[in-house]
Every structure is written in C-alpha cells, then in structure tokens.
Amino acid sequence: MSYTFQFADIWAARFDLLWGTWLTVRLSAMAMALSLAFAVVGAFLRLVGPKPVQWLITAYVEAIRNTPFLVQIYIIYFGMPSIGIRLNPNSAALAAMVLNGSAYAIEILRAGIESVARGQLEAAQALGLNRAQTFRDIILPQALRNVLPPLESQFILLLLASSVVSAIAANELTAVAHHVSSETYRSFEAYFTAAVIYVLLTLLFSVAFALINRLAFGKLDRK
Amino acid sequence: MIRDFASADVTFLLLATRWTILLAVVSFFGGSVLGLLIALMRVSSSAVLRWIAMLVIRVNQGMPLLLQLFIVFFGADMIGLPMTPFMAAVIALSINAGAFLGDIWRGAIQSVPRGQTEAARALGLGYVARMRDIVIPQAVRIAVPPTVGFMVHHIKSTSLAAIIGFVELTRAGHLINATVFEPFLVFGIVAGIYFLLCWPLTVASRRLELRLAQPYRR
C-alpha cells in the first residue's frame, strides 16, 4: 500500500483529455439532437401511423430497450462493413448512440403525449384542426414541456453511455483516458481525472437544461 | 472466413450466458445490501449521514459505469490488491446498483405517510422495529415495480464487464465473431439472449406498475 499518486503525467496529457472531452460533448449533443428529431417522427407515427408501422416502431423500441448498448455498438461497428458500409469508429459511435437514444426518446415522448389532457385533443377537434395540426400545434408543445425533466435524465444517461463507445476505439474522453493510462501506467489517476470531468459535465448539462427550461417555457409559468 | 458458425458456438454463448446471470445476480445482491444502507442513510435524522448518502448517489449517477469498472479493476492492481475481472465487475456493479437502488428506495420510504412513523414512535417502537415492521413493508409495495425495472438496466450493464476481459455473453460473442466474421448472426443471437433475459422483467415491471396504479384510477 505504498502507492503515491502522481498527476504530472495526466497534466502533460491535458490537451488530449480536453480534446476527448470535447468529442464526448459533441457526440452526446449531436446524438441527443438527432434522437429527439427521429423520436418526434417515431412517436407521431406510433400514435397515428398505419398499424404495421406502429408495430414496427414498438418492436424497435422494445428491442433497443432490452438489449445492452455495447451489443448494439458491436452490431453497427462490425455489422455495417459486412454489408459494404464502411464506418470510422466515431461515425459508428454516433450511429449507435442515435439508434439507442431514439428508442428511449420515443418512449419518453409517448408518455409525455399521453399526459396531455384529453380535453385538449377534443378542443382541437372541435376547432376543426386536422391530425397533423393537432399533433404539431397542440399536443407536441405541451408534451415537450412535460418531457423536459425525463429528457434531461435521458441526456445525462446518453452522455455517460458515450463512454462505452471507447470499446470500438472512438477517441472520446474514456478512450483518451484509457490511452493515457496505458502509456503512463498511471491508471488510477487517468481514470479518476476522466471521472471527475464526467461528473462536471453532468453538472454543467443540468444547469444548461434548467436555463433551456426557463427560456423555452418560462413565459408559460408566469401566467 | 476462418471457419463457419457452428452449433458449438451457440452452446458457447449459452454457457457464457450463465456468467452474465451469475454476475447480475451476485452484484444485484451486493447492490441491494448497499442500496438499503444508502436509502436508510438518506432518510436518517443525521444530516451528516444524509449528506454522505447524497454524495454517493450523485457521484455515481454522474460517472460512467465503465470508468468505475476501470478504476476498480486497474486501480486495485495499482495499490497491490489482487483483482480478477469478475471481482472487479462484481464490486463496480454492486456500488453502481447500490447508488441507484438507494435512490429508488429512498423515494419509496419517503412515500410512506409520516403518520405511520409517528404512530409507531407513539407506540414506543424503536428505530429497528419501526423500519422493519412498519415503514419498509409499506415501502416495498411501491418500490417493487421500479426495482424490477432497474434489474433490466442492471443485466444490460453487466455487458460492460466484457471490456475489462471477463468472458460473459457479450465477450463470448466478440470472441466468436473474431473467428467466424458473421457480426449480424453472432451479435443478433447475443442480443436475442439478452432480450429473453430482460423482456420478461420489463413486462413484469409494467404490469406491477399498472396494478399499483389501479386503486387511483378513475
């Protein structure tokens, strides 16, 4: 038990770690934005699409939610080249994160849509709005507001899950920490530093979400 | 192609599934013990205990499980403790599950009306009797659906042990794929096995939740 902690090697690799952090943030933010966009379409189709489409979306959501993210990454990273689509690790990582994130976001949006009072729907029908208008102008804005807290947790989970893409050598924060660790033999220090960065990132995003909530929905609260 | 995918490979995957299940069960048990402790600390009357429990939960939920695995696995090695991938996985998964379960169960305990605790106290019951006989039995009812839901998450989490080299289901699939190069087939089967493990729990969690909500439905 005579181990002395030395962070000098970690400090020397600070720019690599920062670059990895930046990639983690970019991957997570892009994955979340794309997931949300897909999920809005998915949730809409699941609600009003033809029956086979509804079943297909439900099957997709259930399949993703009941299998590990790492296996999904492997299927994309190893599977895509076998059907002729070459992906570099970072694109494969993004694809896997979007595939995974969309399923969870669809489920969250569904819950949000179901939480919108029935009277809203009936009122929209009474006013003669069609289905698309009702969804876009009445249901979606209220649903989005209800789902902001679960979306925030989902985003943080996605941020943390992004560390798993280091398994396919995408060079985000965890992969950089792994690299620093194997080059300097300062494993504990490298992983500890990365862990601290992740905790800081999640705190930062919580604050950012609180701001978004204020900006987007603050007006509704003041009434 | 070095060789074709054979039925022996399916057997290999199924045998590896036992390790996934063992890892999930052992670390879920460890996590339950820890989770109960954290939940009780979180609702205790001592501010210090509450604060420590909250810190554990916060740090755990803000840190990727993979890094916790790395820290336990490589960190223990550094300070000279012998550590196998299985042990590291059990420890990291237990701590992680402990923090999540602690948070879930705290909510369940707090949802038991205060009057119950006060009545128990008025009857002269001590802390242990109050918790064991009055509060926890009522909290369990509320805690079961989210706990079953968390089991799904937990089973999926065990796949990360593959990255530190423990040959459970995901790692086994990775090894087989490296020799047969049939990623869709191999990982499709792997995903299918996980699905069969997780799906019943997902359905059970949903049913239990509905049943719990029944009395409050109009």
Task: Supply A15's token pair.
Answer: 């720019």
Domain-located, residue A111? yes
Q: Which residues from chain B sit within 8 angstroms of residue A199, using beta carbons?
A: 58-59, 62-63
Q: Does any domain span residue B134? A: yes
Q: For residues B92 and A212, give the distance between their C-alpha atoms in angstroms, rounded to a whole number.
A: 34
**Alpha carbons B173 and B193: distance in angstroms, whole number:** 11
Q: What is the mean pLDDT of residues A31-40?
A: 94
DSSP letter string, B83-96? --HHHHHHHHHHHH
What pLDDT sits at residue A223? Answer: 45
Choose from A71, A181, A193 for mutation: most chain B CBs within 10 A.
A71
**Are A71 and B191 in contact (CB < 8 Å)?**
yes
Number of domains in chain B: 1
Report the chain A residue with the minimal C-alpha distance to residue B193. Answer: A67
Q: Which residue of B has its CA nearest to A156?
A: B62
Is the pLDDT at A39 greater than 90? The verdict is yes
Contact B187 A198 (CB under 8 A): no
Do the beta carbons of residue B121 and residue B200 sit within 8 Å?
no
A60 touches chain B (CB under 8 A): no
Comparing CB atoms, the residue among A70, A72, A203 nearest residue B62 is: A203
> Does A149 reside within a domain?
yes
| CA distance to partner chain B, nearest, from residue A161 (Å) | 7
Asked if A70 reaches chain B (Cβ–Cβ under 8 Å), the answer is yes
Parent domain of A187: 8-217
Question: How far does B16 lie from chain A, in Å, by closest CA?
Answer: 15
On whether the CB atoms of residues A209 and A201 are closer than 8 A, the answer is no
Partner-chain contact B202 A65, CB within 8 Å: yes
Best CA proximity match to A27, nearest among A72, A92, A81: A92
At residue B215, the pLDDT reads 66
Judged by CB atoms closer than 8 Å, whether chains meet at B66 and A164 is answered as yes
| Domain membership flag for residue B2 | no
Look up residue A144 and give its amino acid.
L
Question: Is A223 among the domain residues?
Answer: no
* Contact call for residues B40 and B106 (beta carbons, < 8 A): no
Q: What is the pLDDT of residue A10?
A: 78
Q: Is residue A3 part of a domain?
A: no
Which CATH number characterizes residue B51's domain? Answer: 1.10.3720.10
Residue A16 is part of a domain; what is its CATH number?
1.10.3720.10
**Mutate which of A9, A78, A166, A174 to test chain B, going by most B C-beta atoms within 10 A?**
A78
Q: Determine the structural domain holding residue B188 and report its residue range.
A: 7-213
Please report whether residue B1 resides in a domain.
Answer: no
The answer to whether position B190 is within a domain reads yes
3-class DSSP assignment, residue A115: coil
ipTM metric: 0.89
Asked whether residue B159 is assigned to any structural domain, the reply reads: yes
Residue A196 lies in a domain: yes
Q: Tell me the CA distances in angstroms from B201 to A69, A80, A212, B100, B208, one per residue in order.
A: 18, 30, 35, 17, 10
Contact check, Cβ <8 Å, A67/B194: yes
A174/B190 CB distance under 8 A: no
Query: Hey, is the C-beta of A174 within 8 angstroms of any chain B C-beta?
Result: yes
Per-residue pLDDT of B149-203, as tens digits, reads 999 999 999 999 999 999 999 999 999 999 988 899 999 999 999 999 999 999 9
List, for residues B110-138, the tens digit of each pLDDT value.
999 999 999 999 999 999 999 999 999 99
> Is B110 a domain residue?
yes
Per the prediction, chain A carries an average pLDDT of: 87
The number of distinct structural domains making up chain A is 1
Report the share of chain A in percent with pLDDT over 90.
Answer: 41
B218 domain residue, yes or no: no
